[in-house]
Each structure stands twice: as structure tokens, then as C-alpha cells.
Amino acid sequence: MGAAAGGAEEDGMSEKLIGVKQAWAKAGRLLTGKADEGYEARLPPGQRLVTNWPVLDLGVQPDVPTASWRLEVDGAVTTPMTLDWAAFMALPQVEDVSDIHCVTQWSRYDNRWQGVSTATILNAVQPLPRAAHVILHGFDGYTTNVSLDLFAEADCLLAHSHDGAPLSREHGGPVRAIIPRYYFWKSAKWLKRIEFVAEDAPGFWEVRGYHNVGDPWLEQRYS
């Protein structure tokens, strides 16, 4: 499933697949009960290592050319902003290597991301004291929620490239969030908006039985 599958454009989605994933959550499918292994293990409990990059979505892959792409950053911030592609690429660029852990039980090591760190975004908009959560919105209508503290971690970024190549449409290009310490559904594809809020607002999968936090090492697959 990763970050990608879902959104408000449900007319174009597979209700059957959504139902399957909700049934997984209800049944606790894939749970191993080995969450006490902790962070010392690189591969979280219940995961299997892959070398390819599986594509999982529900039939919606927005085609967003960089010429028309815009990112809104707003909500409980001092200085809301809207970035077009040129402004986004003019921000300080970073590279980070991290692992992917998808809730559908696969993990991929050593992904090399290029993009803009979340720290750069935070410095630009200056969240207000009441801001405690971040809601990530995709062009497909998908949303997912993370705490502000998590969003601010040093390995989080807004990625436009993967392993030296522009991020493909199927993997969430032109820009997706990368929240590497949590299950990959938290790393929203086709990023359109970053909204800072005081009150938590569970997203597409979180309201369909998936865990509100999603820590792979604690095996927080489902609520």
C-alpha cells in the first residue's frame, strides 16, 4: 500500500481493494507479535526484504506536470506560502538515504532521495505554538497525518528524485513526502498541500482501520 493508495477521487478507485485492506485491518493480517524486537533490528517485524520497488495504488495516479505543480503550505503557521516548481527547486537541496517499510510487508533498503528537507519548510513558514500535527494532502485527494515532531525529524524531506532520477508518476512524482521511520503510507505521494493543525485529523487509511502512528518496529499496522 505504501503512501499512495487512496484519496477523495474514489470514483476512480477500486472499492474492492479498499475493502480488502479494511478487512486486513479488522483481521490483524500480517501481525507477528514480535514488536518487542525494537529498533536495533534493521528489518522490522513481519517484513521481507525486496530489491525492486513495488507499485501499489488503487487506480489513481495523477498526472501533474512540473509546469503546473503547486505546493501550498498553510494552516497554523506564521507565513503561509505557495511554491511553484522553480521556487521549490530554488530552495536548499539535500540528499538522504533511508529504508522503506510498507505495511503490506515489504521493505527496501538504501533508497537515495533528493529534495527539500522538512526543516527548510518549517523555517520558512514558522508554525504557530498551537501547531501540533501535520496533514499531508495529495493531488489524488489522499491525506495522512503525522505529528509535527515527527515531520521535523532530520531524515524527513519532500523528494523530487530517487536514486538519481526524477521521481516517476507511479511513485508519486513530481514530489512526495518521505517520512522514513514509519510505514510508507505516511509518505504521501503527489504532494499538493502541507497543512499545520492544532488537532489531529486521521487520514484516508487511518480512518479505515490502520494505526494512527504507524511505527514499523512496534508493528503498528492497525488501530
| Confidence at residue 28, expressed as pLDDT on a 0 to 100 scale | 59
Q: Which residue has the higher pLDDT, 71 or 18?
A: 71
Cis previous bond, 166, omega within 30: no
Chain-centre distance for alpha carbon 41: 22
| Confidence at residue 213, expressed as pLDDT on a 0 to 100 scale | 97
Q: Kindly state the average pLDDT of the residues 17-43.
A: 60
CA distance 184 to 171: 12
> What SS3 class is residue 146?
strand
| CATH number belonging to domain 10-218 | 3.90.420.10
Kindly tell me if the per-residue pLDDT of 190 is higher than 50: yes
Kindly tell me if the per-residue pLDDT of 45 is higher than 60: yes
- Nearest Cα residue to 115 out of 168, 199, 44, 174: 174
CA distance 27 to 130: 37
| Confidence at residue 48, expressed as pLDDT on a 0 to 100 scale | 96
CA distance 88 to 116: 8
Kindly tell me if the per-residue pLDDT of 10 is higher than 90: no
pLDDT in tens, 148-172: 999 999 999 999 999 999 999 999 9
